[in-house]
Amino acid sequence: QVQMVQSRGGLVQAGESLTLSCTISGLNVGDYTMAWFRQVPGKDREGVSSINPSGVRTYYVDSAKGRFTISRDNAKRTLSLQMDNLKPEDTATYYCAAGTLFWPNKIPPPTFFPHWGQGTQVTVSS
């Protein structure tokens, strides 16, 4: 059984940093692309960042470039998202996900990711 267990999010002020983590079990982590998505009520789930199975290649949506850093440790079966200089518009529920495709120029739609974490709320106050 695949499990992707996310760390807690939190409430931070604009400009502060927060790191999300995801611990994976039940699948061969090294075979999967990992990604972080986020969703706000009433909107579609948005891909934020992805990382290929080896960790060599990453992709960031424009709003995350220069502020977020995705990383993975296949030996420890963990995925992380370091978020710096957070903005109120980063407020959302964040999800980690595992899938089999890595696209260099965009994040595949959520339907391409069969495995998901439980979601964690990140709230950034102004």
CA pair distance 59, 37, nearest whole angstrom: 12
pLDDT digits (tens, 9 = 90+) for 71-126: 999 999 999 999 999 999 999 999 999 999 999 999 999 999 999 999 999 999 99
State both tokens at 17.
Answer: 């940093």
Band (pLDDT 50/70/90 cuts) for residue 22 is very high
Pull the structure tokens for residue 126. 């102004």
Q: How many CA atoms lie within 13 A of 91 on its CB side?
A: 11
Render pLDDT for 111-123 as a digit per residue (tens, 0 to 9): 999 999 999 999 9
